[in-house]
């Protein structure tokens, strides 16, 4: 089994190193090959997603991704900026199904800015469509405004769009995920304003007929943003489009107060996937050895579960992470008085030991 | 001075009655005229925004709006649903500048789901553009997918767009609001993905040259959703587009835990405005006399301040509201042990008395 390792920028290399260490400690044989991506890709060959990196990712059974981005690339033109690598990988690999769990580990309840009774035991899954919507819709650009009171001025524009098949396949992913959990699915839309999301709502309602055991409800995106703050534990699985999913999954992650703990998976139609922590590249702490590697280690566990069919090994890693938390080990981002502060490498070593 | 009174549906009529009572207690003469809107408009004349209602609103100096919507209209086709009234009023009256304060009154700090230290003293202002963006952009609809892997299938689509002049005028509103407050403005965009919002960012940056006394920063919408949960007090004024503003302003409102307290103003280029509570029509509690009228009463205060140039009277209402809170009076939505629970009418009467 071949895994493409794309460490990226900022803290990416440090945290990926620890995840690779954990994978190597499982007693399995994985073929792993690394390549530069993001700012590192740009430095190496003038493009955030070098051709060789894309080929490596395409040929692999799964991709383990660190993080991309650094302020020093802010002045590059958009197609050369680091985040284009992640958009390019999603599109080129057809990774339409993004799974983002927001879980609050009981030991870390204090890290949340929300009251413990509101978030303790939080366990929701956001299923975000990842290759459609206004992220990729054409036409887009800056043009002369064709009509209305601002006619003749410059205007920026983009196209939101979802085809029936795109909505169906992400709905199936979400219903099936709900079947394996609490059997409740909330589809988030803005059907009261957008044609795209009235259509979305209609198709999701239709797909629901195939999953009578799952309770489906529909919620407007503005209300969903409120309910995530008001009573997040009422959700089980949330499914939504690329743009709304971007916003809501980050809000949900932050509810836990420990975004350094949250993994993610981005899957294609055959469960090949790209796995990455939900947090970013944090260039401000890069190289200091203090970043939390657990989100990346848990991403590796998701990879074993979804793409490599090694459920038992995934379980082992997740249990090991719980164990180091129970031992009181904490990186700086989740440190509280009374626990033991450790660095990136120590945390990785502790997980290996717990295995 | 002529005020159009549009009570609407659900709790709309009850809460507007109290706000009108408060206006009448100021000792000023206002000409007020009511008309049905939303579901009530549909019942009265087959359309959520009857022509006579629109004319009344156009001819008035300001509009006091309750709330619209009820489940019983969910099965109507979209153009007839209650919320179309509010979209129609915004567009027809040119109400492009939406001001939504998110304030946490010290007495109500316990109502928030966030920890007191994270939200107590919260006072942020969201400036949301209200007549552009994907809310109104053409073309939109359901069509045959013209290209790509889903070619030939049906697809829903919408157009996001912002012309230069639209961005400039809302940026001016936001910079001027920031000048009167903490002199810090955060412009929220998604410039890393959307052409519309790269353009937005460029124009806001340009307008900033006219306001050197205001500190401007730019933040991606997903990060803004996180920072609102993580450290909301770091914000002063936030400016953003219609769609992102819809989501973020509701999230910000919910941070306070007391959305029944939050007013809003929607202004045109000449400070004519529509004023409404930030909460909805709450059909589940309509007619029970338990709804919180304070958001509507505070909306009337905003109306006096922004459209009717009666700052002193606005101050008086706001002081009266603070006084009833200090007296311990609470409607059910903000009730806590140790305070006095009152109904809609009693709360309105208490504000009148405090004047
Ligand atoms: C970096 C950016 C393009 C990306 C997105 O918007 O999808 C990120 O925010 C994410 O959620 O993975
Ligand atoms: C009712 C709906 C169309 C409206 C909007 O999306 O603008 C509402 O959510 C609001 O924020 O006033």
Q: Are residues A169 and A232 in the same domain?
A: yes
Q: Which of A159, A247, A257 sits opposite B221 (nearest CB)?
A: A247
Q: Are residues A72 and A154 in the same domain?
A: no
Q: Are residues A87 and A184 in the same domain?
A: no
Question: How many Å lie between the centroid of ligand 2 and the Cα of residue B127?
Answer: 14
Q: Which residues, other chains included, contact A160 with Cβ-Cβ below 8 Å and sequence gap of 6+?
A: A133, A134, A137, A194, A196, A243, B134, B157, B158, B159, B160
Look at A160 and B159 and tell me if their CB atoms are within 8 Å.
yes
Q: Are residues A213 and A155 in the same domain?
A: yes
10 Å Cβ neighbour count for B3? 21
Q: Which residue's CA is minimally distant from atom 7 of ligand 1?
A: A246
**How confident is the model over B73-93, as a mean pLDDT?**
94
Q: Are residues A187 and A230 in the same domain?
A: yes
**A45-101 per-position pLDDT tens digit:** 999 999 999 999 999 999 999 999 998 998 898 899 999 999 999 999 999 999 999
Pocket test for ligand 2, best of B83, B100, B265 (most atoms within 8 A of CB): B83
A40: nearest Cα among A22, A32, A52 = A52
Q: Are B103 and B123 in contact (CB under 8 A)?
A: yes
Phi and psi dihedrals of A47, rounded to 5? -145, 140
Quote the crossing angle between the two packed helices B344-354 and B311-326, to the nearest 10°.
Answer: 120
Q: Are residues A127 and A251 in the same domain?
A: yes
Q: Is A351 helix (H, G, I), strand (E, B) or coil?
A: helix
Q: Specify if A43 maps to a domain.
A: yes
What gap in Å lies between CA A142 and CA A138, rounded to an integer? 12
A39: nearest Cα among A266, A264, A281 = A281
Q: Are residues A144 and A247 in the same domain?
A: yes
Q: Is A114 helix (H, G, I), strand (E, B) or coil?
A: strand
* Averaged pLDDT score across all residues of chain B: 97
Q: Is A140 helix (H, G, I), strand (E, B) or coil?
A: coil
Q: Specify if B245 maps to a domain.
A: no
Distance of CA B273 to the CA centre of its chain: 11
Q: Specify if A117 maps to a domain.
A: no
Atom in ligand 1 nearest the alpha carbon of residue A264: 12
Q: Which of B142, B165, B228 sits opposite A199 (nearest CB)?
A: B142
Residue with tokens 């989501």: B247
Q: Which residues, other chains included, contact B60 with Cβ-Cβ below 8 Å and sequence gap of 6+?
A: B2, B3, B4, B33
Q: Are residues A240 and A274 in the same domain?
A: no
Residue B112 has pLDDT above 90, yes or no: yes
Listed range (A168-177, B70-79, B203-212, B254-263) with the worst mean pLDDT: B70-79
Q: Specify if B58 maps to a domain.
A: yes
What gap in Å lies between CA A244 and CA A135, rounded to an integer? 11
Distance of CA B102 to the CA centre of its chain: 10
Q: pLDDT band for B78, please (50, 70, 90 cuts).
A: confident
Q: Are residues A47 and A82 in the same domain?
A: yes
B18: domain CATH number is 3.40.718.10
**How confident is the model over B137-149, as a mean pLDDT?**
95
Give me the domain span that covers residue A239. 123-255
Q: Are residues A87 and A167 in the same domain?
A: no
Query: What Å distances lie between residue B148 and A162, A163, A171, A203, B124, CA to CA?
Result: 11, 10, 20, 19, 44
Chain B CB contacts of A163 under 8 Å are 145, 148, 150, 153-155
Chain B CB contacts of A165 under 8 Å are 149-150, 153
Decide whether any atom of ligand 1 lies within 6 Å of the B226 Cβ: no
**How confident is the model over B24-30, as a mean pLDDT?**
95
Which residue out of B81, B87, B113, B162 would a mutagenesis test of the A interface target, given it has the greatest number of A Cβ atoms within 10 Å? B113
Decide whether any atom of ligand 2 lies within 6 Å of the A223 Cβ: no
Q: Specify if A108 maps to a domain.
A: no
Which of these three, A224, A255, A286, is where a domain ends?
A: A255
**B266-305 per-position pLDDT tens digit:** 999 999 999 999 999 999 999 999 999 999 999 999 999 9
Q: What are the percentages of helix, strand and coil residues in chain A, rounded to 5?
A: 45, 20, 30
Digit-by-digit pLDDT tens for chain A (355 residues) are 899 999 999 999 999 999 999 999 999 999 999 999 999 999 999 999 999 999 999 999 999 999 999 989 988 988 999 999 999 999 999 999 999 999 999 899 889 999 999 999 999 999 999 999 999 999 999 999 999 999 999 999 999 999 999 999 999 999 999 999 999 999 999 999 999 999 999 999 999 999 999 999 999 999 999 999 999 999 999 999 999 999 999 999 999 999 999 999 999 999 999 999 999 999 999 999 999 999 999 999 999 999 999 999 999 999 999 999 999 999 999 999 999 999 999 999 999 999 9
Q: Are residues A185 and A301 in the same domain?
A: no
Q: Are A40 and A7 in contact (CB under 8 A)?
A: yes
Residue B163 pairs with which residues in a beta bridge? Answer: A155
B54: nearest Cα among B20, B16, B84, B76 = B84
Which of these three, A219, A235, A255, is where a domain ends?
A: A255
Decide whether any atom of ligand 2 lies within 6 Å of the B318 Cβ: no
Q: Specify if B343 maps to a domain.
A: yes
Q: Are residues A202 and A270 in the same domain?
A: no
DSSP-assigned states of every residue in A255-301: HTT-GGG-EEEEE-TTS-EEEEESS---GGGTTTT-S--HHHHHHHH
Q: Specify if A116 maps to a domain.
A: no
Residue B33 has pLDDT above 90, yes or no: yes
The DSSP code for A110 is: G
Which of these three, A223, A255, A287, is where a domain ends?
A: A255
B16: nearest Cα among B253, B295, B259, B260 = B295
Decide whether any atom of ligand 1 lies within 6 Å of the A83 Cβ: yes
B298: nearest Cα among B327, B335, B325, B333 = B325
- Total number of domains in chain B: 1
Residue A236 counted as an annotated binding residue: no
Q: Specify if A341 maps to a domain.
A: yes
Which residue out of B100, B225, B233, B281 would a mutagenesis test of the A interface target, given it has the greatest number of A Cβ atoms within 10 Å? B225
Residue A215 counted as an annotated binding residue: no
For chain B, state the CA radius of gyration: 20
Chain A CB contacts of B222 under 8 Å are 246-247, 249-250
């Amino acid at each position: 089994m071949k895994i493409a390792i794309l460490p990226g920028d900022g803290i990416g290399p440090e945290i990926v190193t620890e995840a690779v260490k954990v994978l190597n400690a499982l007693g399995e044989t994985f073929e792993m090959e690394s390549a530069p991506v993001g700012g590192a890709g740009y430095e190496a060959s003038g493009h955030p997603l070098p051709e060789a990196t894309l080929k490596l990712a395409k040929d692999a059974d799964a991709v383990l991704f660190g993080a991309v981005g650094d302020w020093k690339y802010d002045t590059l033109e958009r197609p050369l900026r680091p985040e284009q690598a992640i958009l390019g990988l999603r599109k080129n690999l057809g990774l339409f199904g993004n799974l983002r769990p927001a879980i609050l580990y009981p030991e870390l309840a204090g890290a949340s800015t929300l009251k413990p009774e509101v978030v303790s035991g939080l366990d929701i899954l956001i299923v975000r469509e990842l290759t459609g919507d206004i992220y990729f819709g054409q036409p887009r650009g800056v043009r002369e405004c064709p009509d209305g009171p601002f006619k003749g001025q410059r205007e920026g524009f983009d196209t939101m769009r979802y085809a029936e098949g795109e909505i169906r396949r992400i709905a199936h992913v979400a219903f099936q995920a709900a079947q394996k959990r609490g059997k409740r699915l909330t589809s988030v839309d803005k059907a009261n304003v957008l044609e795209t999301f009235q259509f979305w709502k209609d198709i999701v309602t239709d797909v629901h007929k195939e999953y009578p055991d799952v309770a489906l409800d529909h919620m407007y995106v503005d209300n969903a943003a409120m309910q995530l703050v008001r009573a997040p534990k009422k959700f089980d699985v949330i499914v939504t489009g690329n743009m709304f999913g971007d916003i809501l999954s980050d809000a949900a992650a932050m509810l836990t107060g420990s975004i350094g703990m949250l993994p993610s998976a981005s899957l294609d139609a055959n469960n090949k996937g790209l796995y990455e922590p939900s947090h970013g590249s944090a260039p401000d702490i890069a190289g200091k050895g203090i970043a939390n590697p657990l989100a990346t280690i848990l991403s590796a566990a998701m990879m074993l579960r979804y793409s490599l069919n090694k459920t038992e090994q995934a379980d082992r890693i997740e249990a090991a992470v719980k164990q180091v938390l129970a031992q009181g080990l904490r990186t700086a981002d989740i440190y509280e008085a009374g626990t033991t502060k450790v660095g990136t490498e120590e945390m990785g070593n502790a997980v290996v030991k717990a295995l």
